[in-house]
Each structure stands twice: as C-alpha cells, then as structure tokens.
Structure 1
Amino acid sequence: MSENDALTIPRVLDRAARDFPELEAVVDGPVRVTYGELHGRVRAAARALLARGLEPGERIAIWAPNGLEWIVTALGAVSAGLVLVPVNTRYKGEEARWLLARSGARLLFVENGFLGNDYLAMLGAGGGGAAGRPVPDLPELTAVVDFGDRAGADIGTYADTGADTGADGGADGGGAATAGAGTGVTGWEAFLAAGRAVPEEEAVARAAAVTPGDVADVLFTSGTTGRPKGVRCTHGQDVRTYEAWCGRTGLARGDRYLIVNPLFHCFGYKAGVLACLLRGATMVLQRVFEPGETVRLVEAERITVLPGPPTVYTSMLDAPERSRHDLSSLRLAVTGAATVPVALVTRVRAELFPQVVTAYGLTESCGTVTSCSLTDDDVTVATTSGRPIEGVEVKVVDGKGEPVPAGEDGEILVRGHNVMLGYLDDPGATAEAVRDGWLVTGDRGRLDERGNLTVTGRSKDMFTVGGFNVYPAEVEQVLVRHGAVAEAAVVGVPDARLGEVGRAYVVLRPGARAAREELVAHCRELLANFKVPREVVVLDALPRNAAGKVQKSELPR
C-alpha cells in the first residue's frame, strides 16, 4: 500500500484488520468485535448498500445514537464510495427533514425509539409516500433502515461474535420483512441480508476505487442565517488531519477510548472512530453521557482515553459514584472550549487524568486546527489551544486582513490540508468563508511567541452549550413563529454545568400574552434540547443602535 493509497478510510480499515485482526475494536454494551470482525461487518454493509443500487458520490444519512451499527454503516458507506451525512440525534422532525432534503440523502438509518423519540413519526415515515417513497416530500430518499429492528434474518451470518439478539423481540423472525412491506422502512438484518446477492468482489473493487480526493462526509454546521450548511471533507483530509491529531495527543495502539462524544459530531466520529482506526485503539461506546455510568465504564473497561468538553470532566469530578470506582486506568483527556479554567486542568490532572491537552477546531477544518501536546504545562493547556497541527497554518489579522503582532487580538484565519472543499451546493457561502485559500473562522484570538493560539471571543454571536454550538438566529426564528411574539433576541449566558445556556429576550405583540414556560415549550417542540433557551425575559422593546440593529450587549443580564 502506497502512502497516497493509505489516505482513504477504507484503506485505513484494511490496514487495521491486517495489522491487528485479533485486537478488540468496538465494545457496545455486551457486544464485542475485533478489528478482523469489524472489517467483515463493514464489508457486509457495503454489499448491502451496493444491493440498493447506490452509486459513488451519493449520500446516506444516519440519525442514531452511538452504536456498533452506526460505525458499521458509516464505514460501509465510505468504503462503497458513498458520502456520510450524520444527523444530530437531538433534532426534531422539522430540523431533520430540512437536512435530509438539503443533502439529497438516498438512504436514512435510524434507531427508532432512542430516548423515547419516534423518529419515524417525526418524519412522517412508514406511511408510503408519493411513488412509494418512505417520507413524503423527500423525493431523493428511497428507504429508511431501522437499527432497532433486527429481526427477520440469520443474525449469525453477520455477527460473528453474537450480536445483541435480544434487542428486538421479533420472536416470529419476520419483523424486518413485515416492517419493510410497502412502507419503505426496513429492518437492519433484512437490509444486510439483501447484500448477500452482491459478490464480495464488487465491494472490494468499490473500496479500492475510492481516492483521497473523494468526498467522504458532509457534516452540517449552523450559520448566522439560522440554517445549517453542509461541510464537504475528503478522505485524504480526514485521514491526514487525524494522523496529525493522534501524533499530537499521543493516542496509541492498545488504548481503550471511551467515545461519549456523539458520533454525529466531528469530536465523536473523526477524533473518535477514525483516530482509533488509525492507531489500533479500542472504541468503547457510551450512548448518552451520564457521570455515574461513565465512571462505571471506566473501571469495567479499563478506559485510558476519554475526550470531551469540559462539562464531562466537571461532572465526573463531582459524581457521587466516583469514589466507589477504580479510575486508575485513565491516562489522557482531550478537551476544548473558549474558556477552560486553570484550576480545572490542575484538578483533572491531579484527580483523574495524568495527561490533559486542549485543542481548537471547527467543522470546516475537519474538526481540528490546533492542539497542545503532552509536555505542555497546566497554564499553557488551560489558557491556549496549542499550536497548529502538521501542515496547517494559523494567522491572526486586523480589520484590513494584515497579521497582528504576537499577543494582540484579531480574527483567526486557517490555511492547510484540513480546510473544507466548500459548503454543499452553496458557492456564495463558500467564497465568503474561504478567501485566497484561508478559512475565515469567525473567531477572534491571539498567538503567543511560541505559536500557541488563545481563542478570545467570537466575531459572530454563537455560543456553546455542553460542547454543542448554538446560533441565536435559528432560535430567534423559532420564537417569532409563536403567535404572541413580535421580536426576539437570544444570547448565551454562563452556566456552571454546561458552560453556557441560552437566554431569550422577547417583545410580545400588542395585546398578546404568553407565559415564559409556554415559549420554552414552543421552542422545545421545534428545536434540539441544547438549543432551547433556559429562560425567557419579556421586554417592552429590544435595545437598538441608530441603524436599527439590535444591541445585544445592552440587553439586561
């Protein structure tokens, strides 16, 4: 395998299966698979995708929590030359429908019922749309596959280690076939069974035909207009970026990596799954972060690496269950946020992880731009996001685009192999975001004499809730859709547990009334939970400047 060939995700998986076939690859509850077995499962998924007639470059979407099926489907898709489109599990139906329509996804994978969410009902799936489509008004979508329905096929054919056979309750063995009849909704095992008609050689050939320049994924990130934009990244960009990430953070073969970051996010998929494939680390999956369960898993699985936003570590430190579990296996924490207190880094190093690094990135940069190293001191780790990874440049510029001296604040620009190809079907937004090869991040910061980057603020008014970015424009648009609301402004305010949460300021229509709880409930119906304002303040008017623009800095705090 040449160095260039290795810059595709299917080749990375081939290499992992060849070099450490007996090493445990994924732990998902009671299910454990080795790298050799993972390779076989991915091949089966790729064959099933080919059986659907999907062509290279077409897109498939996954709307499901962290799980073995998520990983197998994602790797099967990119091995078949398809493009992965993850969907946030916190999205409601309207948000997911918009993303599916925008991406033109041909196939959707869900785990219906996760956390009580009826994803199929949210989409209006299963009723047989126009021309037999599974979801009305999504003409590109040909079928929905439900991970939660595993009946209807010989599980042993695909699960060499005995997959979770008790998860479905389809005792008659026909559940998946019945679910798919006339509705466009198919069970997971029935989906895989169809792939047996495709010769394995076809799947091998498709994987071999993937090139480093092919688009591997489209991850959607919000913009100031309130609608997400699809970020296109290639196989070569993903692999090279996370080779550099692994080198900087010290992820190594034999590490046991607890992936609690959601797989629909760069932090979970790219810095998690792809990084583990590159280094031969074991992926231990946690579906939902809950501190008590996290510390239990650390002890039970001898976890060594646990990346996450700062709230993960503060919650672990304060978890009542911590003292009852042996956490001595922990070695490395990787985190990032606008502000990481020095005291937190010191405490995490003293009580949980001997090694802590911080990093900075955005979806448009494959998720990573800079990172500290294992030798950096507490102050450097807490007050900076480290130095650019291999092959990446960072400059901080003034309003004229000229670099500012070390220590001075300005706008952060990024150039290198990690900068996206562009936004999906949006050349205007792409041209605005990437100028002369430099990615305009929208963040402000400064570089020190050693090249360490400190993020000092945001050019835009985005804020981060528990590691998830929230763009106020989207929330404001939902608020004004309530019949009683005339105007709305949303800002982030400090929160001890999540870092920041949303606070909404609204002006009601003349004569209208709406309880604050009613407005929060309205948002909760249409938005993912992390986007929902935690409080609502009713004002007579929003503060504005002479040009009529809302002055958020003048809102009462």
Structure 2
Amino acid sequence: MSEILAPGGPLPAIPDDLTLVQFMLDYRHPARPSVAPPNAWLIEDATGKRVTVDEVRDRVQALANAFKLRWDIEDNDVICIFSPNHIDYPIAIWAAHRLGATLTTSNPTFTVEELKYQLTMTKAKAIIVHPSNLLVALEAARAVGIPAERIVLFDVSGIAIGSQWTINEFIGEGVTKPLSFVECRLKPGEARTKLAFLSLSSGTTGKPKAVCIPHISPIANVIMMAHSANLQTAPLERRSYRPGDVGMALLPFYHIYGLVVVMHFAIFYGMSLVVIPIFNLVDMLKSIERHRINYIPVVPPIVVLLCKHPDVLKYDLSSLRAMKSGAAPLSAEVVKQLSERLPKMSIGQSYGMTESCTTITFPQLDMHIGTPGSAGRLLPGVRAKVIDPDGKLLGYGQTGQLVVWSPANALRYLNNDQATKETFVDGWIYTGDEVIINEQKDMFVVDRIKELLKVRGFQVAPAELEGHLLGHPDVTDVCVIGLPDEYSGEVPLAFIVPTTAAVARMKKDAKEEARIKLSIMKHVADAKVSYKQLAGGVEFIDAIPKNPSGKLLRRFLRERAKEMQAAGKLSRPISSKARL
C-alpha cells in the first residue's frame, strides 16, 4: 500500500516569506475568520484585563524597540522565556520575532542545572522571567555568563521585584524612544529555514534535544487547523469551533501544544484567550464560570479530574462547547465518563509532536464525540505511512510505526546529527509511535516503539534518570520504566540494584530499606523537574535484565511492575485520592 493522504485537502496557500509575527499581526490569510471588533485577543484571568489587537501591535512594537535599545538584539540571537503563562508571553515572542530573533521557551519548574543546560545548548543571550523564577534564573544566568541586566521580568501584581527591569518598563521606554530597528523581512522561501523556535524535546538517550522550528512550521500548522475547522458544515450555532468564542489558555505556553495550538491557532481562529498561569482544578472551574469559556484544550490528567472530582458539579460549566485533549492518549472509557458528566460539550483528541510542530491529527469536528479510542483524524495536508520493522508499507487497520510528512514539520535537532538522521529522513518524521489508521483516516495510538515515558503529557527519557541515579552512593545498577497510572498516563518507577554495602546495612536494620529508598527518591527530586520524579517509587532487584549486547530489557521489568501493581506488592502504591 502507498502512503495515506489526509482528507480535506488541498490546503490554502502557506506563505513562505513571512515571520510568525507578521503572519499573526500584519497579514490577512483567507483561512482566517473575520471577527467583529473590538474583540480581545488576550484576557488576564485574575483581573479580567482585556487586550485588543491594536494594543497587541503597539506593545509588540514598543517591546521590540526596547529589546534593541537595551540588549542590542540582532538577527538570529536567541532569547529564553522562563515563566508560567502570562498575558505578555505572546507579546514577548512576537517582539523578538520583529527583530529576527529566535525564542527558546523553558519549563518554569526547571532546576538551575536544567535551565543552565538549555541556556548553554541554545546559546541564549537574554532571559524573560516570571518574578517567582528570578532566583533560579539569576543563578543559571550567572553560571553561563548572561549578565543580570539581560534579565527582564513579567509584571505580576503583589510580587516584589527589586532592581530588575520589567516588561512594562521596557515597553514604556520603547514607546518614548525613536525606533531603533529595521524589521526582519524574509525573501521568498526563507521562512522555511529561518528559525522561530528552539523547542525542547526529550530523547531516548539522555538529556532533552532542541528542535529547530522555522517560521513556516507554526504558520503551516495554524493554517492546517484553521482549514479543518472551516470545513465544519453544521450551522454556526451548532459548530464546536467558532470565531468569537472564548478559549482557555491553561496549557503551558513553553510546551509546543500550548505554544502553537493554544496561543497561535486559537487567536488566529478569532478566539479570545483567557490566560491562566498555573493549573489548579478549582481555580480552573472558577475561571470557566467567570469568563464563560467555550473551548478548553487540555491533557488527559485534567480530563480525569473533570470526570471524577466532586467539585466539578459545584460550578456552572454550561458555557463549555468543545474540548480537545492531546499530548497523550485518552481512553474510550474516560471519554464516555466525561460525556456523561458534560453531555453538551463536544470531545475530541489530537496527536502531535514537537518535531512535527504539533498537530498531526485533529478532532473529528463533524462528530459530537470523536471516534472512541482514536487520537483524532489526520489533519489536512498530512501524509502518513504505517511501516513494519523492516520498513515495509502497511495498510489500513494494520499496526506499525507512524511516519509522517506535513508542511509544518521541523527541520532537525540542534547540533545533534545522529539523532537528526534517526528521526528526520528526507522530510519525513519517524515518530517512534506504533499506530493503526482506519479507512476514515482516524488514528489509534497503540504503543511507543521508542522508550520515552509520557508523564502528564510530558516526555521523560529513562536514560536521563538512570544516569542521574547511578550517581547515588547506594546504587550499583538501575532501569527506569513507566508504571501505568490513570491520572498521569504513566509515572517513573526505578528498579535498583543496591550496592553490597547497602545490602549489608539493610540486613542489619529492617528500617534501612525504607531509608535508602527515600534517599534515592530525594536524589532525583532535588535535581529534576516534578514530572521526572519517581512517583512510581523504587524497587530493589538482584540484577537488571539485559540482552547479550548489554541493552536493558525494559519490557521484562514493565511486565514485572504490572504484576506487582496488580498484586498490591509495590512499595509505593499510587494514591488517586492523594492526587485529587
């Protein structure tokens, strides 16, 4: 069988001579719906402050001027954003793009070491920081040689900021000073190579890699999603996605899902985004009620809470019209539970990767509830192959690795030729995910061929944790596997071969085993972001199973962990009640 073409084509033209900011602020694309002014593009959750497109343009221009005046930002310089969601997050991105700079967005819960790694890898020259992240940012910046005057803070009411400049102060200066820059203008085809983002994606062999995403990639993905939404045939009042709706911007902007699908697509499609900095279920429910939110892009852990948490029934969620879940599979059983609790809301799923600049499949917008168990339907513009281990093309209904091409595909990994050769092949992306595609072009994710764990939608490389755990004085050998978990999808569990000295101590004192396990878990917790921590616990084992070449046989330990979990023999059982 040949490659599988997504339905809904052909796509509208994708401009290849625009930066992302020009596409969003200055260009009128035929796929972009019209919305009557003065609609707000951004709404601050806590205050209700509304920012219109004219205000966005003014703030972007002034901030770009300040970046040039203060930092002398030039074409291809890299700026890091280290913050939870903020109403000025998109303003900062677009201001940097006016100057031709590249953005690298960082997880705000990163430790100093993790931030240092990202700053060093991307060669960032300045950092935009939330005040709550300032101490970590200052220490990481000092270590990599970024001076404190190249750190600017988002403005947050009630948080003391000391002597650091803020974005509002930058904008104030940018407004009053003469324009100091000539905007970046691209030649035809240049948007295919000029980098907009260096976005982190975990690998199977250690620390995260930076994905090189050119300007055309988010532009193309936004057009693909908008074109799919424009194919809705129901009357406007019955459509799931509507221009003029209010969308929820809760998913983190630093993640490719929040960056492209939430920030850029929703605004492009005429929605007003309520920007919510940090997830808290009750606060989210209050926000939906207060702002009459219609569209909620989410991840499976949030869906589980919507299904099961008793507080969901205490709030007026009648404004909800559409929910899209992504970043990890959502089971048919959970979809059924949610549809029974919120029957008026359409429910769909999508699948994407950082390497594909997000969306490969999209909810079936002609259906109130997407095909049970599916990750959505192939998005217009996507070409897909399903292949067996020998590279042979498979057909509809057959299980194999997904290989995809789309006009949104990223270019490569930064300074990592080997990983690039393995994933990016002649413009196609080898996803490492095992899927089935049916004749309706609905896709079902079966398993991951690669060894990455998916924890609450975030990728976790077992090798990264294993390398860190081997630095613990009581650890001789280790294998990290994913333990299935209803809330998080899966959580890391470490099988540890303890040292001879540790075994001797445990034989002398029955309480020593628990102390060593807690010490090992703390060793990870002190150095890694929360979703990388050993929520599945630590289990001691005599030897790690390996093949003759030394490759870890994770599948044997995954099966062992499942058996132990079913028998209630895990030393650290996961408590759903505690998470709720």
Q: Report TM bin, short chain.
A: 0.7 to 0.9
Q: Give the letter aligned to residue 109 of structure 2.
A: R
Aligned counterparts of 1:95 and 1:35: Cα–Cα separation in 2: 35
Bigger mean CA offset, 318-327 vs 215-224: 318-327
* Cα shift at 1:197: 6.5
Match of 1:492 among 451, 475, 482: 482
Q: Give the letter aligned to residue 461 of structure 1.
A: E
Map of 2:346 onto structure 1: 355
1:48 and 1:194 in contact (8 A); partners too: yes
Aligned counterparts of 1:398 and 1:527: Cα–Cα separation in 2: 36
Map of 1:236 onto structure 2: 216
Map of 2:534 onto structure 1: 533
SS in 2 for 1:68: coil
Map of 1:75 onto structure 2: 94
Q: 1:104 aligned to 2:115? A: no
Aligned counterparts of 1:20 and 1:8: Cα–Cα separation in 2: 25
Bigger mean CA offset, 470-479 vs 431-440: 431-440
Higher RCO by CA contacts (8 Å cutoff, separation 6 or greater):
2
1:257 and 1:281 in contact (8 A); partners too: yes
Map of 1:218 onto structure 2: 198
1:12 and 1:277 in contact (8 A); partners too: no
Match of 2:170 among 191, 197, 200: 191
2:63 and 2:167 in contact (8 A); partners too: no
Bigger mean CA offset, 12-21 vs 216-225: 12-21
1:110 and 1:144 in contact (8 A); partners too: no
Map of 2:235 onto structure 1: none
Q: Give the letter aligned to residue 517 of structure 1.
A: L
2:227 and 2:380 in contact (8 A); partners too: no
Number of residue pairs matched by the alignment: 513
SS in 2 for 1:381: coil
Q: 1:385 aligned to 2:370? A: no
Aligned counterparts of 1:120 and 1:399: Cα–Cα separation in 2: 44
Match of 1:11 among 22, 30, 40: 22
Q: 1:206 aligned to 2:207? A: no
* Cα shift at 1:247: 3.4
Map of 2:565 onto structure 1: none
Q: 1:542 aligned to 2:558? A: no
Aligned counterparts of 2:153 and 2:56: Cα–Cα separation in 1: 17
SS in 2 for 1:365: coil
* Cα shift at 1:80: 2.0
Q: Would the alpha carbon gap of residues 20 and 118 (structure 1) be closer, same or farther in structure 2, given more than 3 Å must change? A: farther
Bigger mean CA offset, 529-538 vs 365-374: 365-374
* Cα shift at 1:194: 4.4
Q: Would the alpha carbon gap of residues 541 and 67 (structure 1) be closer, same or farther in structure 2, given more than 3 Å must change? A: same
Map of 2:512 onto structure 1: none
Q: Would the alpha carbon gap of residues 255 and 370 (structure 1) be closer, same or farther in structure 2, given more than 3 Å must change? A: same
1:69 and 1:147 in contact (8 A); partners too: no
Matches within 5 A, 1:147-162: 147=153, 150=155
Q: Would the alpha carbon gap of residues 326 and 485 (structure 1) be closer, same or farther in structure 2, given more than 3 Å must change? A: same
Match of 1:299 among 284, 289, 292: 289
Matches within 5 A, 1:255-270: 255-270=245-260
* Cα shift at 1:348: 2.4
Map of 1:132 onto structure 2: none
Q: Would the alpha carbon gap of residues 290 and 168 (structure 1) be closer, same or farther in structure 2, given more than 3 Å must change? A: closer
Q: 1:92 aligned to 2:111? A: yes
* Cα shift at 1:189: 3.8
SS in 2 for 1:329: coil
1:8 and 1:236 in contact (8 A); partners too: yes
1:106 and 1:143 in contact (8 A); partners too: no
Map of 1:161 onto structure 2: none
* Cα shift at 1:15: 4.3
Aligned counterparts of 2:199 and 2:241: Cα–Cα separation in 1: 24
Aligned counterparts of 2:539 and 2:167: Cα–Cα separation in 1: 46
Cα deviation 1:358-406 (Å, max 9, x = unaligned):
111110000111223212464x533222332222211101122121122
Moved over 6 A (4+): 16-19
Aligned counterparts of 1:251 and 1:9: Cα–Cα separation in 2: 23
SS in 1 for 2:295: coil
SS in 2 for 1:227: strand
Q: Give the letter aligned to residue 228 of structure 1.
A: P
SS in 1 for 2:297: coil
SS in 1 for 2:38: coil
Match of 1:284 among 274, 278, 293: 274
Q: Would the alpha carbon gap of residues 399 and 497 (structure 1) be closer, same or farther in structure 2, given more than 3 Å must change? A: closer
Cα deviation 1:289-345 (Å, max 9, x = unaligned):
111111110010000010111211221233333222211110111113554222322
* Cα shift at 1:527: 0.5
* Cα shift at 1:263: 0.6
Q: Would the alpha carbon gap of residues 391 and 7 (structure 1) be closer, same or farther in structure 2, given more than 3 Å must change? A: farther
Aligned counterparts of 2:418 and 2:327: Cα–Cα separation in 1: 29
* Cα shift at 1:224: 1.1
Aligned counterparts of 2:413 and 2:36: Cα–Cα separation in 1: 37
Match of 1:371 among 356, 362, 376: 362
Q: Would the alpha carbon gap of residues 219 and 450 (structure 1) be closer, same or farther in structure 2, given more than 3 Å must change? A: same
User: Structure 2: where are the runs of 5+ without partners?
Assistant: 1-12, 29-33, 230-239, 506-514, 562-580
1:20 and 1:280 in contact (8 A); partners too: no
What TM-score do the two structures reach when normalised by structure 2? 0.83
Aligned counterparts of 1:21 and 1:9: Cα–Cα separation in 2: 22
* Cα shift at 1:6: 8.1
User: Structure 1: where are the runs of 5+ without partners?
Assistant: 126-134, 151-163, 181-185
What TM-score do the two structures reach when normalised by structure 1? 0.86
Q: Give the letter aligned to residue 450 of structure 2.
A: K
* Cα shift at 1:450: 2.1
* Cα shift at 1:61: 0.4
Q: Give the letter aligned to residue 238 of structure 1.
A: P
2:346 and 2:368 in contact (8 A); partners too: no
SS in 2 for 1:42: helix
Q: 1:120 aligned to 2:120? A: no
Map of 1:36 onto structure 2: 54
Aligned counterparts of 1:403 and 1:45: Cα–Cα separation in 2: 50
Q: Would the alpha carbon gap of residues 76 and 111 (structure 1) be closer, same or farther in structure 2, given more than 3 Å must change? A: same
* Cα shift at 1:217: 0.8
Q: 1:324 aligned to 2:314? A: yes
Cα deviation 1:253-274 (Å, max 9, x = unaligned):
2111111111100111110111
Map of 1:153 onto structure 2: none
Q: Give the letter aligned to residue 520 of structure 2.
A: L
2:199 and 2:212 in contact (8 A); partners too: yes
Aligned counterparts of 2:317 and 2:27: Cα–Cα separation in 1: 28
Map of 1:145 onto structure 2: 151
Bigger mean CA offset, 300-309 vs 332-341: 332-341
Q: Would the alpha carbon gap of residues 286 and 40 (structure 1) be closer, same or farther in structure 2, given more than 3 Å must change? A: same
Cα deviation 1:469-503 (Å, max 9, x = unaligned):
11111111111111221111111111122221111
* Cα shift at 1:284: 0.5
Match of 1:22 among 33, 38, 54: 38
Matches within 5 A, 1:353-502: 354-376=345-367, 378=369, 381-502=371-492
1:67 and 1:285 in contact (8 A); partners too: yes
Map of 2:66 onto structure 1: 48
SS in 2 for 1:306: strand
1:502 and 1:531 in contact (8 A); partners too: yes
Aligned counterparts of 2:159 and 2:62: Cα–Cα separation in 1: 20
Bigger mean CA offset, 14-23 vs 42-51: 14-23
Aligned counterparts of 1:435 and 1:6: Cα–Cα separation in 2: 25
